[in-house]
């Protein structure tokens, strides 16, 4: 009986240890923000690819900038060939 209680108690140690861990996720790094004039200058130079990942309904409501390519976030995986690999990518 004592052995059974000991095994049961020891098997609960990992459960209690996990319960004590912090539930807050690690902070995600944030991408730098750019001024619109800087964005337009990069677009004119052709140095970057502007990717707009918003849904069509969001584009209708909020608009977009000339030169942005719209590939909704849910379609990125299927449309990867449309994204150049030789340029920096800026998303909206």
**pLDDT value for 24:** 63
Question: What domains lie within the chain, and their CATH numbers?
Answer: 36-91 (3.40.250.10)
The residues that bridge with 70 in the sheet, in sequence order, are 52
Give one word for 8, left, alpha or beta, with left for phi > 0 and alpha for psi -120 to 50.
alpha
pLDDT of 31 higher than 60? yes
Looking at residue 78, what is its pLDDT?
A: 96
pTM above 0.75, yes or no: no
């Amino acid at each position: 009986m004592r052995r059974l209680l000991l095994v049961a108690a020891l098997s609960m140690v990992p459960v209690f240890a996990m319960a004590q861990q912090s539930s807050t996720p690690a902070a995600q790094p944030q991408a730098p923000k750019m001024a619109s004039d800087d964005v337009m200058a990069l677009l004119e130079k052709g140095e970057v690819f502007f990717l707009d990942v918003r849904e069509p309904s969001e584009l209708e409501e909020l608009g977009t900038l000339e030169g942005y390519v719209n590939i909704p976030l849910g379609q990125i995986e299927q449309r990867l060939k449309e994204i150049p690999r030789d340029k920096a990518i800026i998303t909206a």
